[in-house]
Structure 1
Amino acid sequence: MGDGLRYIGAPERRARLATRQRLAGAARAGTPEEVADALVALHGSDPATVYLAVGARLADPSRTVPETERALYGDRTLVRMHGMRHTVFVFPTHLTAAVHASTSLAVAARERATLLKNMAKAGAPDAAWLKEVEESVLAALARRGQATAAELAADEPRLKERFVYAPGKSYEGVHTVSTQLLRVLGVEGKVVRGRPLGSWTSSQFRWAVAPGHPELDAAGAQAAVLERRLRACGPATEADLVWWTGWRVTDVRRALAAIGARPVSLDEGTGYVVDGDVDPVEGPAEPWAALLPALDPTAMGWQQRDWYLAPELRPLLFDRSGNVGPTVWWNGRVVGGWAQRDDGEIVWRLSPTADVGREAEAAIEAEAERLRGWVGTTRVTPRFRTPLERELAG
């Protein structure tokens, strides 16, 4: 495009997405671990998203629930923890050290300082008291293996102490020490969410001591995370990477330089790929369809989305905070949305401007049947509801 850089247009970006995001039929994975490795992180703010995102990418989706539970709570090859943008994700366990050092440590320092500041304003005990409670909680958790906040409060009654959190702010409220302390310990990488109290859609989690990992250099960890991200989602612009990581622009630029990222030309400007990934990429041999859940890591993978999402669909598929709802995909583009009704039926609607043809509609219906098959009698309502999802759910 006149700048001497290799141009990667929207069709090739969709081709990369199809295989690297494990969405095309031939690219589907055998295990939840393979899915998480390919995507780097699965959004975990809505517990159901993790399972629905895995199920959409498994060659045999009938094993989605037991295999994902095995990975999360049996083998611990996947871990639910705070990560980018102060959001809960599910990561491959082997990446947790890099995520913690690259992202969580800086957030954790701010969170602990804020907690102590708000406790002081409320006349609550000091940092030494909080440290004592913290050590008692971690010891109790180590003895129990997994426990709810209520169970931990039975062992350490000081967790029941109440104080006014964020006084004077719009989100001011009265919280127990357990609510805020466990959150801080989670961001600090000392505890992680364990098995839920209910089904795979439940958001009530037990807590567990976090698996041990080496302490890494922050800059090196950022380079490692960014390289994994670009292998999964490259090309991506600097703005995409700043948005996804939540890092400062200087951190992203330093990490790009450290891994020797190669600039390429995109419709929206300069993008980056990892060294050795500049050559053209062909798409899958067969066309493909997918029904992806709310907050799916592919739909939320880039800040600049025009190459796979028509602007007119955004008001229907996103809530006011920028959270994406359930999406229907055809050959690398979002072409509509879907929902589950109270009777379990999976319903979907295409954009009037999609004009995808009968082959696409048949493939999308097949994906809806595939989803019905493994979800069964479970009812899934997104945590962040969007206009089209609400309308379709009826």
Structure 2
Amino acid sequence: MIKGTLPPYLKSGGRKMVEPTSEQLHWNQLRKQALLDEKVPDYCEVAKSQLGLHSTDYWTPYFSVWSRIGDFDAKDMYESLDSGRNLVRTHAFRTTIHVMHIDNLSMIINATGPSLFKACRTDKYRKVDVLTDKEIESMLSDVRDALREGPLGTSDLKKVVPEIGDHVRSALLMLMAHGEVVRAKAKHARSNLTSYALLSQWVDGFKLKIVDEQDAITTLIQHHIERFGPVTIDDIAWWLRLTKTVVKSAITSLGEEIVTLNFGNSQMYMGSSDFEITSSIEKPKDNLVWFLPYEDHFLKAFIDRSNFIDESIQPMVFPADRRHFWPSNPDVPQIMPSKGSRATGEVRPTIWLDGRVVGRWELDDDEKQKKVVTSIYAKDAMRHLNEIEDVRIDLEDFVNHRLLPISK
């Protein structure tokens, strides 16, 4: 729960805004994730409203959608990604791969592309930093020319442009940063062995709108605050890989669009229109259970997730030991990872009860099918095992009947 005392606020014109409670702020964050009664109609709207669905595991976007709307046509979503229809997969927030709706693409690429390009251009590990600007541009030009003939995987690209060598990934990422290239066809729904295509050819009729970088950053920060707020300067700076100075400047320029909440010595921000909605929210009467996937975009929007995950549970969902990742040993070790690991490390699949993480789920093999295995860590959740089991069964059914058939 968000802690602190909220001061009264005034809207333009002097009308006093009703002050929401910390509990209402908490539930409103979950409402904006479509985890309460307000549901979006389909996977396209989930991707569009959430800005980006984390996709380091290629099944995660499907699970993120399922968590928010229930059973849906995963095959249609796969075909949309596999054909450039409505959705594309590319690198954006924190330079990480996401599934995004094409309507948001220009804004996101203009805001996140420069940071991604810089990260690739200065990459010491792949020795990109020693290349001259002329060598970089020549390399990118060769890749563009190769992709004009159609989508190519990295192996085929190396054959067409042999001189690119080990820099093939860096070249593709830099072109993605420019909004010129996206990931294209995959072997199946969970395969990360994709081809790459020119965005202008992959998405029929799409033309990237070039806008001022700072304007794009300000717009994206506003969307982030409206979708995930209340959030802190640290949350936004971490999410977008920006300096705190840039984030503060953007928030200041948004003026009355943003409301500032004071919590002791820290400040949080939310949309002013969202503020009034929050004041009318009531805690749901039913016991709500959600299964959010590995690296779901919601928890990744915050550098401090203690509002949703109790300190005692964090070692199990941010495991410092990789042997702890899979269901064979879901309850140990009880080692608290460092604050850095908790903030930037992987978030395992989580089980939520009434707005808080109470456990973890994983996928295990059961002969030809997948089995969803669970581990409950919160004692008060033990009284709700039947509700948790009902959702577990639904998820297992979705995996075996919707995802497995498109993942072979």
- Same-fold call, TM > 0.5? yes
Aligned to 1:330: 353
Deviation at 1:116, TM superposition (A): 12
Mark the CA change 1:96 to 1:309 in structure 2 (over 3 Å): closer, same or farther.
same
Deviation at 1:114, TM superposition (A): 4.4
**Offset from partner CA, 1:335-394 (integer Å, 9 cap, x none):** 1111122112212122143x0354x32222121111111110767xxxxxxxxxxxxxxx
Aligned to 1:293: 293
Deviation at 1:330, TM superposition (A): 1.1
Q: Give, as a single letter, the amino acid of the residue that structure 1 aligns with 2:59.
A: A
Deviation at 1:108, TM superposition (A): 0.8
CA distance in 2, matches of 1:214, 1:319: 41
Aligned to 1:172: none
Which structure is richer in relative contact order (CA contacts within 8 A, separation 6 or more)? 1
Aligned to 1:342: 365
**Offset from partner CA, 1:311-344 (integer Å, 9 cap, x none):** 1111110133421101001121111111122112
**Gapped runs of 5+ residues in structure 1?**
162-175, 380-394
Aligned to 2:112: 103
- Which runs of structure 2 are paired with 1:164-179 in the superposition (5 Å)? 176-179=166-169
Task: Confirm whether residue 79 of structure 1 aligns to residue 105 of structure 2.
Answer: no
Aligned to 1:165: none
Deviation at 1:47, TM superposition (A): 1.4
Match of 1:140 among 146, 165, 177: 146
Aligned to 2:334: none
- Which runs of structure 2 are paired with 1:152-231 in the superposition (5 Å)? 152-159=157-164, 161=165, 176-197=166-187, 199-211=188-200, 212-231=207-226
Task: Confirm whether residue 374 of structure 1 aligns to residue 398 of structure 2.
Answer: yes
Aligned to 1:382: none
- Which runs of structure 2 are paired with 1:205-354 in the superposition (5 Å)? 205-211=194-200, 212-260=207-255, 261-266=258-263, 269-279=266-276, 280-283=279-282, 284=284, 286-320=286-320, 321=341, 322-343=345-366, 344-353=370-379
Aligned to 2:335: none
CA distance in 1, matches of 2:371, 2:242: 41
CA distance in 1, matches of 2:126, 2:357: 45
Q: Give, as a single letter, the amino acid of the residue that structure 2 aligns with 1:81.
A: T
CA distance in 1, matches of 2:47, 2:316: 28
**Offset from partner CA, 1:266-290 (integer Å, 9 cap, x none):** 5884211112222214144643211
CA distance in 2, matches of 1:376, 1:349: 20
Q: How many residues align?
A: 354
Indicate if the aligned counterparts of 1:16 and 1:281 stay in contact, CA closer than 8 A. Answer: no
Indicate if the aligned counterparts of 1:9 and 1:267 stay in contact, CA closer than 8 A. Answer: no
Mark the CA change 1:364 to 1:13 in structure 2 (over 3 Å): closer, same or farther.
farther
Deviation at 1:8, TM superposition (A): 5.0
Mark the CA change 1:361 to 1:301 in structure 2 (over 3 Å): closer, same or farther.
farther
Deviation at 1:43, TM superposition (A): 0.9
CA distance in 1, matches of 2:5, 2:388: 39
CA distance in 2, matches of 1:345, 1:30: 28
Question: 3-state DSSP class of the match of 1:341?
Answer: strand
Mark the CA change 1:133 to 1:218 in structure 2 (over 3 Å): closer, same or farther.
closer
**Offset from partner CA, 1:206-263 (integer Å, 9 cap, x none):** 1111243111111211111111111111111222222222211011111112222111
CA distance in 2, matches of 1:180, 1:232: 31
Indicate if the aligned counterparts of 1:8 and 1:265 stay in contact, CA closer than 8 A. Answer: no
Question: 3-state DSSP class of the match of 1:376?
Answer: helix
Aligned to 1:68: 77
Deviation at 1:110, TM superposition (A): 4.8
Q: Give, as a single letter, the amino acid of the residue that structure 1 aligns with 2:111.
A: S
Q: Give, as a single letter, the amino acid of the residue that structure 2 aligns with 1:132.
A: S
CA distance in 1, matches of 2:168, 2:24: 49
Deviation at 1:148, TM superposition (A): 0.5
CA distance in 2, matches of 1:240, 1:8: 21
Identity over aligned residues, as a percent? 22
Mark the CA change 1:239 to 1:109 in structure 2 (over 3 Å): closer, same or farther.
closer
CA distance in 2, matches of 1:375, 1:95: 28
What is the TM-score when the length of structure 2 is the normalising length? 0.79
What is the TM-score when the length of structure 1 is the normalising length? 0.81
Indicate if the aligned counterparts of 1:31 and 1:67 stay in contact, CA closer than 8 A. Answer: no
Indicate if the aligned counterparts of 1:142 and 1:209 stay in contact, CA closer than 8 A. Answer: yes
| Alignment root-mean-square deviation, CA | 2.6
Question: 91-100 vs 129-138, which deviates more?
Answer: 129-138
Aligned to 1:166: none
Deviation at 1:106, TM superposition (A): 3.5
